[in-house]
Amino acid sequence: MLLGEGEGFVSCACGRKHWGLYGAAGLLLVDPRRGVLLQHRAMWTHHGSTWALPGGAVLPGETPADAATRETEEETTIPPHAVRVLASCAEDHGTWRYTTVLATVRGEVEARVANGESVALHWVPLDEVEEYPLHQDFAAAWPLLREQLDRQLVLVVDAANVIGARPDGWWRDRAGAVARLRDRLAALSRIGVAAHRVGLELPRRWCWWPRVVLVTEGKARHVAEVAGVEVVSATGEGDDTIVGTVVELRSGRPQDHVVVVTADRELRRRVGELDCVSLGPGELWRLLEESAQAARSRSRGRVQT
Ligand SMILES: [Zn+2]
């Protein structure tokens, strides 16, 4: 077999051999109506004949999410645009890393065996997954992965409060300052954020690509939406609009992680009663700086996260 760049076995510090010189990634794709997509691995593959996720080696310059969606298309014909990537969970062995990328389907998708790596593809109801002869690593990870299936991270951002936390001249042009914040949030939604950094009680290996809801008021009310950032403009009291937004999010998708970004103590108390985490503006600004740096290094093709 001719090996491509990034393909090959790593003799890992854990004492085992793993596939993928730059690590490997798999796609845990859920269709809320049918369950999760499992692949029956061909006999000749590593740990052949077990059931696991579509996926494979991460190639140079790829993120694990790129690798997982590319491999899934190669193995199942499901194209990357037919899935929405929500989160990832990395199992880091030091010398090697496996990343499970959690995603949901966008509408109807059909999985077809597309190359020799799989012998079958099944949509498996969640309660039946453990009845399959699973790959040992997937079997070990499944109980915790299952808890996070189809859960979005939603960041609800109190725009006035967040721009007010940095004395950068925002008072001269509030709408401009909110538009700049919006653009930086859009970049964050593309790069992703570690769960523990936004106050979720999850191990460090978890990361989410957040859906962002920016709540604006006053002169910044009419800031337009961009990809990755929804804008809700408050007609009256901004705090009431934020609480109303959270109530709506909670009733539509109660499983989601909702984080409200504000320093306002009364607002933090009110959203806490709705089972939301609060994050201070200072921490959000730090995350925005870091994601801008990560985007710059990624565009130079040097970083894989
Ligand atoms: Zn290892």
At 52-64, the pLDDT tens digits run 999 999 999 999 9
**Per-residue pLDDT at 1:** 54
Say what angle helices 281-299 and 174-191 make with each other, to 10 degrees: 60
Confidence of residue 282 (pLDDT cuts 50, 70, 90): very high
d(CA 243, CA 147): 26
Cα 10 to middle of ligand 1, angstroms: 8
Q: What is the Å distance from ligand 1's center to 204 Cα?
A: 18
**Average pLDDT, integer, range 224-236:** 94
For residues 42 and 48, the answer to whether their CB atoms sit within 8 Å is: yes
What's the 24 CA to ligand 1 centre distance in angstroms?
11
Give the distance (Å) from ligand 1 centre to CA of residue 135: 15
* pLDDT for res 149: 96
Residue closest to 214 by CA, chosen among 289, 284, 269: 284
pLDDT per residue as tens digits for the range 78-95:
999 999 999 999 999 999
Q: For residue 45, name the pLDDT band (cuts at 50, 70, 90).
A: confident
Distances (CA, A) of 74 to 18, 98, 100, 209: 20, 19, 17, 23
- Measure 13 CA to ligand 1 centroid, in angstroms: 6
Q: What separation in Å is there between the alpha carbon of 271 and the centre of ligand 1? A: 41
Query: Residue 7 corresponds to which tokens in the numbers above?
Result: 């393909």
Residue 98 Cα to ligand 1 middle (Å): 9
Query: Quick check: 91 and 98 in contact, CB under 8 A?
Result: yes
Q: Which residue has better confidence, 302 or 196?
A: 196
Structure tokens at 290: 């870091």
Give residue 156 CA to ligand 1 midpoint distance, Å: 38
d(C-alpha 95, C-alpha 83), whole Å: 30
What domains are there in the chain, each with its CATH number?
Answer: 9-147 (3.90.79.10), 153-299 (3.40.50)
Q: Which of 102, 91, 55 is nearest to 74 (CA)?
A: 55
Query: Tens digit of pLDDT for each residue in 12-22?
Result: 999 999 999 99
**Spatial distance between the Cα atoms of 168 and 123, rounded to a whole number of angstroms:** 52
Q: Tell me how far the alpha carbon of residue 20 lies from the centroid of ligand 1, in angstroms.
A: 11
Q: Is 149 left (phi over 0), alpha (psi -120 to 50) or beta?
A: beta
Instruction: Render 77-115 in DSSP notation, one character per residue.
Output: ---GGGEEEEEEEEEE-SS-EEEEEEEEESS-------S
pLDDT at 201: 93
Tell me how far the alpha carbon of residue 124 lies from the centroid of ligand 1, in angstroms. Answer: 28
Mean pLDDT of 34-40: 96
Contacts of 139 (CB under 8 A, 6+ apart): 130
| Per-residue pLDDT reduced to its tens digit, 101-132 | 999 999 999 999 988 878 899 999 999 999 99
Q: Is the pLDDT of residue 138 over 50?
A: yes
At residue 182, what is the residue type? R
Q: Average pLDDT of the chain?
A: 93
